[in-house]
Amino acid sequence: METVDLVKRSQQLEEKLLKSKCLTCPLFEAHFEQEHRRQRLSEEVRHLQHQLSEDSLASMPDYRNHVLALERLGYVEPSGTLTLKGRVARSLSSYEVMLSDLLLQESLLTLGAPEVAGLFSCLVYEQRSNSEAVVPRSVKAEDTFWATLRIRFCRGCCPRTATLRPTGSFGWRHSTMRTVGCALL
């Protein structure tokens, strides 16, 4: 039924156009070209106004810093194309850069299952519970965690006011690692 209405409306507009005095104007083609050029320029002005808007310009330095950081970490080539690390990060849903670094580091191969679980637990949110799961502390897991945070601490990834020193004791207890680590993410 909608198609029939559209066809009828199209026929009505065609009849109206054919009856229009504009078609008999000797300068019709010139006028049509002028109007077409005016609409094209108007669209270009809107596009340029958006590019020059405060919102667009305000986020540009931050965007460039992120791109430079991703280039430095090997996620993006200088030409702007994604590397293998970048494609892995793109397929993950959150904490892309940190997860990709952890997955692609060979140092994880030397860790046991509890240490890897503890390391990745900082990236998972769970509701608080009264019982605390205790996972053995691993020096290698701690070193891997801090090395990854050092990578993330490059320009553009963390606020300039952040510091990269552990506060308090580092532990694998309930959300301790998350609290320490996510302050810099």
Higher pLDDT, 141 or 155: 141
* From 25-29, 118-122, 162-166, the region with the lowest mean pLDDT: 162-166
Other CB atoms closer than 10 Å to residue 17's CB: what's the count? 10
- The burial class, CB within 10 Å (0-12 / 13-18 / 19+), for 71 is middle
Give per-residue pLDDT as tens, 7-35: 999 999 999 888 888 888 888 899 989 99
| Three-class DSSP category at 175 | coil
- In 139-160, which positions are buried (b, 16+ CB within 10 angstroms) versus exposed (e)? eebbebbbebbebbeeebbbee
Give per-residue pLDDT as tens, 41-69: 999 999 888 877 777 777 778 888 888 88
pLDDT of residue 158: 52
The CA-based angle 174-134-150, given to 5 degrees, is 60
Q: Mean pLDDT over residues 92-119, rounded?
A: 74
Give the mean pLDDT of the chain: 73
- Give the start-to-end residue ranges of the domains of the chain: 94-182
The CA-based angle 134-167-127, given to 5 degrees, is 45
* From 18-27, 93-102, 134-143, the region with the lowest mean pLDDT: 134-143
pLDDT of residue 152: 61
Q: Mean pLDDT over residues 77-87, rounded?
A: 87
CA distances from 33 to 18, 20, 60, 79 (A): 19, 18, 37, 39
One-letter-per-residue 3-state SS of 79-102: CCCECHHHHHHHHCCCCHHHHHHH
Flag whether pLDDT at 144 surpasses 50.
yes
Other CB atoms closer than 10 Å to residue 11's CB: what's the count? 10
| The residue to which tokens 């510091």 are assigned | 163
Q: How does residue 103 score in pLDDT terms, banded at 50, 70 and 90?
A: confident
Flag whether pLDDT at 169 surpasses 70.
no
pLDDT of residue 38: 95
Other CB atoms closer than 10 Å to residue 101's CB: what's the count? 23
- Bridge partners (DSSP) of residue 39 are none
The share of the chain scoring above pLDDT 70, in percent, equals: 60
Q: Taking the model in full, what pTM does it have?
A: 0.31
Phi, psi of 164 (to 5 degrees): -110, 50
Flag whether pLDDT at 142 surpasses 70.
no
